Amino acid sequence: MGKFKIVGGNKLHGSIVPQGAKNEAMQIICACLLTEEKVRITNLPNIADINNLIDLMKDMGVDVERTTPNEVSLQARDIDFSYFETEDFSNKATRLRGSVMILGPMLARFGKGFLPKPGGDKIGRRRLDTHIIGLQKLGATFENANNYQKVTASNGLKGTYMLLDEASVTGTANIIMAAVMAQGETTIFNAACEPYIVQLCRMLTSMGAKINGIGSNLLKIEGVEKLSGTSHRLLADMIEVGSFIGMAAMTGSELTIKDAGIKDLGIIPDVFRRLGIKMEFRGDDIYIPEQEHYEVETFIDGSILTVADAPWPGFTPDLISIVLVVATQAKGTVLIHQKMFESRLFFVDKLIDMGAQIILCDPHRATVVGLDRAQQLHAVKMVSPDIRAGVALLIAALSAKGESTIENIEQIDRGYQNIDERLRALGADIKRID
């Protein structure tokens, strides 16, 4: 297992370009199954989760043409249905959270699909109810097999009205991909409306789908018989953008984030501004000046700032761990409330070991007392529990005094492309040891 050795305390300088959005890429790759024509995807992040999903597509019979590390063409002419009943499919799909989104397009186009036990981060209970109930309402039938469920729509999918029990991003994406080729009209209320979903809808529309209400939580989809190929460019990854803002603040560095996709960031910049971080928008770039101190805003009644995650357009849960780390060196106190997932805050033990003042209230809440750099964090040895916590610990290590070690960096590699090389280009002292 690989690890990072990081000598902290260095100021970073220069500019960095965020990779394409990982969460969007998972949906877009699965959507290629809706057509027998070629689908070209650009600005693709060259990371483990995406490469594993593309390899899974190849094993399913999809023609894959990788022109550059960040561009791929997929053509799903002939699907090998026998592959879905193999142990290899079960093993590979189980390691990937996004593999569940294969199901919707397979049902739409072929009337059958396979649902493996999903993998990904172990960050509390992540239900599949939204996917299953939504597809059942469209006419799908689920049947237990060995390591998977066989799903069929013997009479084809039929449009219907549904109110989702939660605004699940992957659940909404799966249902949309199934509905675009269902007979009649499908209405989805309480749909997720993240930029990733908007992008998926735009791509499907360019393929010939009929979708109304894009960007809202009420979607109306008129089913079509066939979809064509298309070319699609992914958004900048908002989680990387947020991570780089936090990194600049923690290390007191001057940094420019190029092509940040500002209009699709929602309230992310505002949340970091509430922590006292200054930034300027220059076209589509974010400039963060060198800042020795940053002070947390209080609410108008004087109560302490609370940062909580919520479905879009609320604050994304993927940046909660980054905000928590950044708050450790702010001036002021912040209550971090991770509502959507359990167990994501347990990495704070390591931050406490580094000298941070944090009270872990319960699995969902932590109170951070900012040190205003009066006490620099000190280096420790740590293990990355998941993608986002791993990067949060990486940011902490970059600001800490001494040499830190982060093990299990395969978790970080799942979500961040060549992160060590990109940080070295900014002046970070980070080495990868295999």
Give catalytic residue positions.
121
Render 274-291 in DSSP notation, one character per residue: HTT---EEETTEEEE---
Backbone torsions φ then ψ of 293, nearest 5 degrees: -130, 145
Q: Please check whether residue 5 is in contact with residue 405, taking contact to mean a CB–CB distance below 8 angstroms.
A: yes
Measured CA to CA, the distance from residue 325 to residue 307 in angstroms comes to 12
Gyration radius (Cα) of the chain, Å:
22
Residue 46 identity (one-letter amino acid)? N
Measured CA to CA, the distance from residue 321 to residue 384 in angstroms comes to 12
**Residue found by looking up tokens 């060198």 in the block:** 290
292 class by beta-carbon count within 10 Å (0-12 exposed, 13-18 middle, 19+ buried) = exposed
- CB contact set of 222 (below 8 Å; sequence gap of 6+): 159, 184, 185, 210
Largest CA distance in the chain: 68
Q: Please check whether residue 102 is in contact with residue 54, taking contact to mean a CB–CB distance below 8 angstroms.
A: no
Under the phi-then-psi rule, with left for phi > 0, alpha for psi from -120 to 50, and beta for the rest, what region is 259? left
Measured CA to CA, the distance from residue 421 to residue 417 in angstroms comes to 9
Measured CA to CA, the distance from residue 204 to residue 313 in angstroms comes to 22
Secondary structure tally for the chain: helices H, strands E: 14, 23
Q: Please check whether residue 134 is in contact with residue 103, taking contact to mean a CB–CB distance below 8 angstroms.
A: no
**Residue found by looking up tokens 């029990």 in the block:** 165
Angle at CA of residue 97, ends 72 and 404, nearest 5°? 90
